[in-house]
Structure 1
Amino acid sequence: MATSASDSPRATCAGTSCKLPEVSLAGCVGTIDPGRSVAAQWAYVGASFDLHLRGKPTQL
C-alpha cells in the first residue's frame, strides 16, 4: 500500500514506467459479506463441475 505520492504503485507500460491511480477496489466494485461470497463461490464451482464433468447443466 502506498504511503506517499513518491511511494505510489508503478506499472511498466510498453517499456515505460507510469503511475497507477490510487483507487480503492471496494469503491469500484462494492463489498460483500464473506459468508455470502464463499457460498456463491461454492455454488459456481459446483455448477461448473456438474456441467463440465457430469454433463448435467444446472441453473444458478
Structure 2
Amino acid sequence: MLNKNCAVYGCIWIMPELDEKRQDTDSRNILLDIIHTTEHEETLIGLSPHFLVVGRK
C-alpha cells in the first residue's frame, strides 16, 4: 500500500505580506527556494492548513 501526504501550502502561507513579496522577483525566488528546501520535510507538514492525501491499495 502506498500513502503520500503533501502539504498544499507548506510553511510559506504564514509569511507576512506574502502577496507583495511574490510580486518582487528577488523575494519570489527566495520564497521558492524556501518551498523547495522544506516541501518534503515531514516535521513541517503540520504548518500547512490544508493537506493532500493520496493512497493506493
Same fold? TM cut 0.5: no
Q: TM-score, normalised by structure 1?
A: 0.32
Q: TM-score, normalised by structure 2?
A: 0.33
Higher RCO, 1 vs 2 (CA within 8 Å, ≥6 residues apart) = 2
Larger Rg: 1
Q: As a proportion of its length, which structure holds more helix?
A: 2
